A and B are shown apart, each in its own frame.
Chain A
Amino acid sequence: MSPKQGKALFLCCPLGTSLQDEGRTLGAHYGIPRSGAMDLYSYQWANHLLQNSNEAAALEMAQPGLKIKFEEPCIVSLAGATAFVTVNQTPILNASIISIASGDILEIGAFRGGARLYLCIEGGFQDEKYLGSRSDFKSITTSSKRSAGETLYYLPIQNKAVLWVKPKWSTNWFESKEIQAYPGPDWRLLSTGQQRLLLKQLFHLSKFSNRMGIQLEELVANELEDLPTNPVFPGTVQLTPGGKIIVLMRDAGVTGGYPRILQLTEESQSRLAQKKAGDSITFHLLEPKFES
């Protein structure tokens, strides 16, 4: 690493903290998942605030408790979940863009709304790319998650002008219950009654949720047969023989054998990524429309 690079040291690092960008699309034929930010919308917004390129790597947090020390000055931005943020123990109100001095310690406290918080840094965190992406994933990057004592590197400040921006950011978009989805490849295998139930019922997120998938509480009884294993994507909704609904998220394997009943829009994947166990959702069916 060049000596001019800044160093960020993790003093405390909660479980579920990982480095993410838009993910990798070059590895599916090796069985390598897409990965990338669970809430791409917030990740992209936080990068946009710093005028970063689209693929600048950011930290994704699913729990409070991060304590990180920056050894060189830098500019960081936050988006996604709203959290209690301090720098050197001084609370930061409306934390969106923060100017950091040498030796400053940034801490992330309790989340007030949402489930995933993104910490971007001007120029992006520097780490090796694998197949075009810096996203952490077990067995392909050096770490599958970040932990205390580790270091991340960043570039010197390039553009102080971003500090003049007074961004307006609302989290209303992820508070809506409505999850929009296209009919999945196997939607037609469901009976009209099952289809109606899926679109009418209020579903709740279970505690079995991670970067691979989000399992819902309510069951949908079915007698669908096992299908040949075929491709799945982030946002594919699977229905198991036991009636469980699993919404596949960014780290899901590239293929699956359960019926693929729905495919979430990108925006709804981001929205779902901001929901917590116990939150409720409804599915709203879209027809694939084409721009002329």
Chain B
Amino acid sequence: MKPSYQIISPTLGELVWHESPSDELLSMQLSYLTHIQSNYLSTLVEVRQGFTRLSLVWKNSSSQLEFIQLVETLNLVPESLPKKVWQVPVCYSSEYGQDLESFAAHKNLSPSEVIQLHTKPCYRIHFLGFLPGFFYLNGLSPTLHLPRKRVPSPYVPSGSVAIGGSQTGIYPSESPGGWHIIGKSPLTFFDSKKTPPVWAKPGEQIQFMSISSSQLENWQDEDSKNFLK
């Protein structure tokens, strides 16, 4: 799982892996990320992580050149992934998941089968992107894969839990979006007044837990605290 390095511009390049996203690949990426952050921080503007790339923005082109020569010689050991699993409560209902029924119908499943399949796995957080506080999760059951909507919805409420293609995720703030909305979580996923503004980090896991409409409607801050610890 040794990455290659692709130069994009004199100050931008990426570490490239050709494997599909997996825990093993993430372990390797995080190992490279740690190495880069502890050795090159002063010459980097920023590092961004995706499913199969680590993108590096350099302060100048000579720093990038130096890195290219060194990266070949690196022999890093995969980093072990954290054990933390966050429980995320979700109310799956057509009231809060506007597409739950049509999604289930598309898949020839009942809504309760969808809920069962969605709450079963532990999803691995690979990185954050799209919106502040949006987790890219790996681990959705292939039975629940469904292409995104042809026409995105102009308004998806914050906390919406959705499925798009082979991925599932939670909208941390209201936004337009093309994924199928199957439920809503009462938790806050991004809060700029908190440090850090996001409570989970890449490598950790998320498991969804079904709650009722009345639990969602009567949700208190105190209830969130029980989950976010």
Contact = CB atoms under 8 A, between A and B. Distances in A.
Interface in B1-34: 6-10, 12, 14, 16, 20-21
In the complex, which of the residues A28, A182, A183, A231 has the most CB atoms of chain B within 10 Å of its own CB atom? A231
B9 A229 contact: no
In the complex, which of the residues B127, B133, B136, B198 has the most CB atoms of chain A within 10 Å of its own CB atom? B127
A226 interface: yes
Interface residues of B, number: 45
A255 B130 contact: yes
B190 A139 contact: yes
A282 interface: no
Contacts of B7: 288
Given A138-B173, A228-B51, A230-B51, A30 B9 contact: no
Contact of A263 (B9, B46, B133): B9
A289 interface: yes
B50 A230 contact: yes
Interface in A22-36: 25-33
B61 A291 contact: yes
B47 to A, nearest CB: 7
A130 B192 CA distance: 8
Interface residues of A, number: 34
Contacts of B10: 288-291
B136 A233 contact: no
Nearest to A26: B46
Contact of A30 (B16, B53, B57, B132): B132
A127 to B, nearest CB: 14
A184 interface: yes
Contacts, number: 118
A254 interface: yes
B130 A231 contact: no
B131 A233 contact: no
Contact of A229 (B12, B20, B51): B51
A230 B136 CA distance: 10
A229 B61 contact: no
Given A138-B173, A231-B55, A30 B8 contact: no
A197 to B, nearest CB: 21
B62 interface: yes
B185 interface: no
A32 B132 contact: yes
Interface string B37-58: 0000000011111111111010
Nearest to A187: B8
B8 A226 contact: no
B61 A185 contact: no
Nearest to A139: B173
A253 interface: yes
Contacts of B46: 25-26, 28
Interface string A25-58: 1111111110000000000000000000000000
A206 interface: no
B12 A30 contact: no
B69 to A, nearest CB: 12
Contact of B45 (A25, A27, A30, A230): A25
Interface string B57-80: 100011011000000000000000
B134 A233 contact: no
A122 B62 CA distance: 35
A184 to B, nearest CB: 7
A101 interface: no
Interface in A260-284: 263, 265
Given A140-B192, A182-B9, A229-B50, A30 B55 contact: no
B132 A231 contact: no
B197 interface: yes
Interface of A: 25-33, 130, 138-141, 182-185, 226, 228-231, 233, 253-256, 263, 265, 288-291
Interface of B: 6-10, 12, 14, 16, 20-21, 45-55, 57, 61-62, 64-65, 127-134, 136, 165, 167, 172-173, 190, 192, 196-198, 202
Given A139-B190, A229-B129, 11 more contacts: A30-B190, A130-B192, A139-B132, A185-B16, A229-B50, A230-B14, A233-B55, A254-B130, A255-B129, A263-B8, A288-B7
